[in-house]
Amino acid sequence: MSERNYNRQAAKRQRISEPTLIVGVDVGNSFNAVGFMNKEGKVLGSCGKLYNNREGFEQCIKMIEGLKARYCFRDVLIGMEPTGHYWRKLAYFAKEHGYEVRFVRTMALKHHRELDESSSSKSDRRDAFTIANITREGKYIDTVIEDGVLRQLRTLSKARERLLRYSVSAQNSLHAAVDDYFPELHGIFWSMASRTLWVILEMCPFPEDVVSMEVSTLQEWIARTSRKHAGSVRKAKALYEAAQRSIGVKQTGSADRYRVRMCLEEVKRTVLTLKDMDRQLKSMVKEIPSASYLMTIPGIGPISLPFSCFVKNFYELINPQTTQFGANIGEIIHFWQFSKVAFLPKFLDSRRAKDQKF
């Protein structure tokens, strides 16, 4: 560990004073385990089963307030392992009540458990105390629990990323179906997201269907959905000739037509939904204070800016003197890979050297 990281961890330990109550939470699907400690590591209490509902959360708050009054604590530091999506409800509930929430890495919890008792055996209550002990030592992650438009942008970005995977899978399925029945279409339409291709597959998905059509009819369909109306005649003739010499599967039936229709409907649904999501992202990004500065960098636009939902100020993300740098270094790497901006590292180094805020 570098000297800078030691100093940062020392600052985290100094943040925990005598009147600080340390709370460790082992988050689960149905219920959570909670352990309480003071700065010296003395166990003050625990609860092995707090259910993930309002009654369970209010019971946790009641236990915290009771310990604060009993031992004269002035502030509370809650550490938890961000397991799946189960942590969100409790983290936001604690934030609404004015408590500070920090996260503990899963691997840190595993190694610390083995060091404490030289055993890898696991229980919810034991993990809660281990998390509290890691938090007490300052070995937690600086957490940014966003709210407002930042949380909305993060939610929409995650949904878009998931839908993008579905869209790629759907287009691959349609690509495979076209390969089986009409492989010559790939030389005429370069993308499975082409509106003209959608019309052709909807009206005449197989070569024998195209051959039974008039070239003028094909030209009309292509001109109606294509941006370049002048090339519709040439493309219609190419489509008709490709259908005449197609090497696709000849013996087709109702199951084959259902396969093409199902793949086509899935492609249309995902592609159109992605475009609607992009419009939503563009309107929401404008509400981020630092978005206008970030989008002045070539190669960065509103769609390649989803990492902004994790921080409120881009300078805090790239400035190594801030406590948020370590927490968001993974987001910086993801951003470099996502935006493909080759000069961005040099850009960040120059900004650090000048020490200028945007």
Rounded Cα distance, 69 and 116, in Å: 30
* Residue numbers in the chain where pLDDT is lower than 50: 308-316, 318-348, 350-352, 354-358
pLDDT at res. 338: 45
Rounded Cα distance, 261 and 274, in Å: 20
Query: Per residue in 133-167, pLDDT tens?
Result: 888 888 888 776 777 787 888 888 889 989 999 99
pLDDT at res. 106: 80
Kindly state the tokens that stand for 222.
């292509």
Task: Give me the residue label for tokens 């609404």.
Answer: 96
* Axis-axis angle for helices 54-71, 87-96 (nearest 10): 50
Kindly state the tokens that stand for 213.
């059509």
Rounded Cα distance, 225 and 231, in Å: 12
Kindly state the tokens that stand for 171.
């287009």
Query: Per residue in 5-57, pLDDT tens?
Result: 666 667 777 778 888 999 999 998 888 999 999 988 899 998 988 888 999 99
Q: CB–CB of 156/277 below 8 Å?
A: yes
Task: Give me the residue label for tokens 């070539």.
Answer: 298
Verdict on whether the full-model pTM lies above 0.75: no
Collapsing DSSP states into helix, strand and coil, what is residue 131? helix
Residue 180 dihedral angles phi and psi, to the nearest 5°:
-75, -45
Q: Going by C-beta distance under 8 Å and a sequence separation of 6 or more, which residues neighbour residue 74?
A: 19, 20, 68
The C-alpha angle 210, 211, 214, rounded to 5 degrees, equals: 85
pLDDT at res. 5: 62
Q: CB–CB of 252/181 below 8 Å?
A: yes
Handedness of CA 195, 199, 200, 205 (dihedral sign): positive
pLDDT at res. 334: 47
- Each as own residue / partner, the long-range contacts of residues 191-199 (CB below 8 Å, 24 or more positions apart, any chain) are 192/267, 193/267, 193/271, 195/225, 195/226, 196/221, 196/222, 196/225, 196/226, 196/235, 198/225, 198/264, 198/267, 198/268, 199/224, 199/225
